[in-house]
Amino acid sequence: MTVADILLLALGAVAVGAGALVVSSTHLVRSGLYLVVSLGAIAGLYLVLGAELVAWVQVLVYVGAVVVLLLFAVMLTRAPIGPSTDLDRPPGPSALIGAGVGLGLAALFVDAFRWIEFPRADPGTAEQVGREVFGTWVLPFEVLSILLLSALVGAIVLSRPDLGARPAPPAAEEGSGEQEAEVPA
Amino acid sequence: MPLWLDLLVRVVAVMVGFLVLPLLVGQAEHKVMAHMQGRVGPMYAGAFHGWAQLVADGVKFVQKEDVHPHGADRTVFRLAPIVALFPYLIIILTIPLGPNGLVAQRLDIGLFLVLAILGIGVVAVLMSAWASANKYSLLGGLRGAAQLLGYELPLVLAAASVAMAAGTLSLPGIVEVWRPWWLIWQAPAALVFFIAGLAEIRRPPFDMPIADSELVFGYMTEYTGLRFAFFLLAEYVGIIVIAGLTTVLFLGGWHGPFADQLGWLWTLLKMGVLSFVIIWFRVTYPRLREDQLQRLCWLILVPVSLAQLVLTVAVKSLL
């Protein structure tokens, strides 16, 4: 076993352990913080595998933005300190399904890739990832960016009911005018 | 030089920098603010112009009792100051001081690492805010998170502009190809980066999350003693980091007369001047209101940085 193998195993254990805590913890906000640990460990896995750029993108996007957004949303709604005992979560069946799917997938992967030896890939430097993304994979990349753009536009439309609204009957219009006046300038 | 000695020298140098530079900035803040406000500032400790004031403060912080509020989430509460401070230590590793590899850790994509690590600071703010079990803390933390998430965008876009101009993501690499006329070419990006950086470290006029006149002390309200000192230290190291990054990305780092011998001095000098400007801002500008803060970010900084990207590409393709 090389150092890389040991690091992979350790980081994998951290990622899986923290991931299990995310779903099993009864502390709502702590679940989110465990998610930070889990995603950070996955970034560590990328680093060990030589994909430096992907690792830092993982930290930038997932740890720095997605999880923070999640925590932010939880704290805006309901974030009690201490365990929440009223969570609607039957432990038996979900544990069975989760463990079953996890073990099944693991067995499948081990069986599928046990006999194949892959050549060691080149380190994923920024230059190489850039060349691949903007050379071979430029079409999927652009399609994905259009998808994201439409999601953005959709978010704006959903959050602004005054956009494209049908002219309301006179009685309701009065109500909406009042609502607008309530919005602080 | 054998590898272990090389490693030891670098680690010791970073630790010394990490321990000394924030104290210098802290002392400068005491004195600069005092003079700008027409008072003397701390004068007693250490006999000469109160140079030992911060050391005395440190001793005071260590002696204080480690208190946490009843009903707080203790583990998260204790962890938050460390999460706030640790990212900056890693960033200091990557800031190049001088030419010929005078940097603690040379990385091919140092810029990306720096931006990614800066983003972790938000987690610390949210952790401390929530775990304090205090409504002022939580309000401060939510303001902080909204501010940090918003200002990360212009920060990254401005940094992307200079990375595109240089054609590399390595911090020493960017300084190597830097030319003095970039000062004009990249001026909008430099301004955006500096302002967004100020907001990232929550310095006045962007200290809405702390806002001592309305939120007590924001997400730091419940902290005392050493943990509070950690937050203060993180703020001072944050000044160093933002000044250092602006120097390296936009002001040409070690470039200057006799750069081969005195490069490190030029870098430190430029960082010092920028730190002075950051302190100057604190004394000069009143705190931005929350809506002004978001307006500045989304309606001014983001469009300016996008226009700068277009300008960078246009000039780059003409050359």
Q: With respect to residue A156, please indicate whether it lies within any of the assigned structural domains.
A: yes
Rounded to an integer, the average pLDDT of B170-180 is 84
Judge if A14 and A69 occupy the same domain. yes
> Which residues are paired to B102 by β-bridges?
B98
Task: Return the residue of B nearest to A76 by Cα.
Answer: B142
Integer Cα distance of B258 and B254 in angstroms: 9
From A179-183, B63-67, B265-269, B299-303, the region with the lowest mean pLDDT:
A179-183
- Summarize pLDDT for B116-138 with one digit per residue, the tens: 888 888 888 888 888 888 888 88
For residue A171, what pLDDT is reported? 58
Rounded to an integer, the average pLDDT of B60-65 is 86
Q: With respect to residue B23, please indicate whether it lies within any of the assigned structural domains.
A: no
pLDDT at B211 over 70: yes
Rounded to an integer, the average pLDDT of B73-83 is 84
Long-range contacts formed by A134-143: CB under 8 A, 24+ apart? none
Integer Cα distance of B255 and B285 in angstroms: 31
Could you give the number of structural domains in chain A? 2
- Summarize pLDDT for A136-151 with one digit per residue, the tens: 888 998 999 999 999 9
For residue B101, what pLDDT is reported? 65
pLDDT at A126 over 80: no
Reported as a pLDDT band with limits 50, 70 and 90, residue A181 is: very low
Angle between helices B110-118 and B74-94 (to 10 degrees): 160
**Residue listed under structure tokens 């892959």:** A118
Residue B43, burial from CB neighbour count under 10 angstroms (0-12, 13-18, 19+) = middle
Integer Cα distance of B74 and B223 in angstroms: 12
Q: Which two tokens stand for residue B119?
A: 């983003």
The CA–CA distances, whole Å, from B194 to A27, A43, A145, B155, B185 equal: 38, 28, 29, 8, 16
Residue by residue, DSSP assigns B227-276 as HHHHHHHHHHHHHHHHHHHHHHHHS-TT-STTHHHHHHHHHHHHHHHHHH
For residue B87, what pLDDT is reported? 86
Reported as a pLDDT band with limits 50, 70 and 90, residue B69 is: confident
Chain A contact for B90, CB < 8 A?
Answer: no
Judge if A1 and A69 occupy the same domain. yes
Angle between helices B74-94 and B225-250 (to 10 degrees): 30
Q: With respect to residue B129, please indicate whether it lies within any of the assigned structural domains.
A: yes
Reported as a pLDDT band with limits 50, 70 and 90, residue A92 is: confident
Instruction: Give the CA angle between residues B202, B272, B232 to the nearest 5°.
Output: 35
Judge if A6 and A63 occupy the same domain. yes
pLDDT at A174 over 80: no
B161 is in which domain, residue-wise? 69-318
Give me chain A's average pLDDT, please.
80
Question: Among positive and negative, which fits the CA dihedral B129, B134, B140, B146?
Answer: positive
**Exposed e or buried b per residue across A17-44, where buried means at least 16 C-beta atoms within 10 angstroms of its C-beta:** ebbbbbeebebbbbbbbbbbbbbbbbbb
pLDDT at A179 over 50: no
Chain B contact for A21, CB < 8 A?
Answer: no
Reported as a pLDDT band with limits 50, 70 and 90, residue A105 is: very high
**Exposed e or buried b per residue across B222-244, where buried means at least 16 C-beta atoms within 10 angstroms of its C-beta:** bbeeebbbbbbbbbbbbbbbbbb
Rounded to an integer, the average pLDDT of A2-6 is 82
Last residue within a domain, chosen from A79, A107, A138: A79
For residue A185, what pLDDT is reported? 42
Choose, out of B68, B73, B91, B94, the residue to mutate when testing the contact with A (most A CBs < 10 Å): B73
Helix (H, G, I), strand (E, B) or coil at A137: coil
Spell out which residues of chain A touch residue B111, defining contact as CB-CB under 8 Å.
none
**Residue listed under structure tokens 């940094």:** B159
The CA–CA distances, whole Å, from A93 to A17, A98, A130, B31, B266 equal: 20, 8, 44, 65, 65
**Residue listed under structure tokens 């830092």:** A56
Rounded to an integer, the average pLDDT of B140-161 is 87
Judge if A67 and A134 occupy the same domain. no
Helix (H, G, I), strand (E, B) or coil at B92: helix
Q: With respect to residue A118, please indicate whether it lies within any of the assigned structural domains.
A: no
**Residue listed under structure tokens 């690492």:** B113
Give me chain B's average pLDDT, please.
84
A56 is in which domain, residue-wise? 1-79
For residue A146, what pLDDT is reported? 94
Give percent above pLDDT 90 in chain B.
Answer: 7
Reported as a pLDDT band with limits 50, 70 and 90, residue A176 is: very low
Choose, out of A75, A134, A183, the residue to mutate when testing the contact with B (most B CBs < 10 Å): A75
Spell out which residues of chain B touch residue A82, defining contact as CB-CB under 8 Å.
73
Whether the complex's predicted ipTM is more than 0.85 is answered with no
For residue A79, what pLDDT is reported? 72
Give percent above pLDDT 70 in chain B.
Answer: 97
CB A50 within 8 A of CB A38: no
CATH number at residue A71: 1.20.120.1200
Amino acid identity for residue A49 in this structure: L
Instruction: Give the CA angle between residues A178, A78, B221 to the nearest 5°.
Output: 95
Residue of B113, B116, B125, B94 whose CA lies nearest to B240: B94
Integer Cα distance of B153 and B8 in angstroms: 36
Spell out which residues of chain A touch residue B113, defining contact as CB-CB under 8 Å.
56
pLDDT at B167 over 60: yes
Reported as a pLDDT band with limits 50, 70 and 90, residue A168 is: low
Between chain A and chain B, the number of residue pairs with CB atoms below 8 A apart is: 84
pLDDT at B203 over 80: yes
Integer Cα distance of B162 and B45 in angstroms: 44
Spell out which residues of chain B touch residue A183, defining contact as CB-CB under 8 Å.
none
| Nearest by CB: B127 against A33, A52, A59 | A33
Model pTM?
A: 0.83
Integer Cα distance of B90 and A149 in angstroms: 34
Helix (H, G, I), strand (E, B) or coil at B195: helix
From A119-128, B17-26, B292-301, the region with the lowest mean pLDDT:
A119-128
Rounded to an integer, the average pLDDT of A114-123 is 74
- Summarize pLDDT for B84-121 with one digit per residue, the tens: 888 888 888 888 877 766 666 667 778 888 888 888 88
Choose, out of A60, A61, A127, the residue to mutate when testing the contact with B (most B CBs < 10 Å): A60
> Which residues are paired to B24 by β-bridges?
none
CA-CA-CA-CA dihedral for B166, B171, B173, B178, to nearest 10: 50
Reported as a pLDDT band with limits 50, 70 and 90, residue A164 is: low
Could you give the number of structural domains in chain B? 1
pLDDT at A166 over 70: no
Reported as a pLDDT band with limits 50, 70 and 90, residue A184 is: very low
pLDDT at B308 over 60: yes
Judge if A75 and A1 occupy the same domain. yes
Reported as a pLDDT band with limits 50, 70 and 90, residue A88 is: low
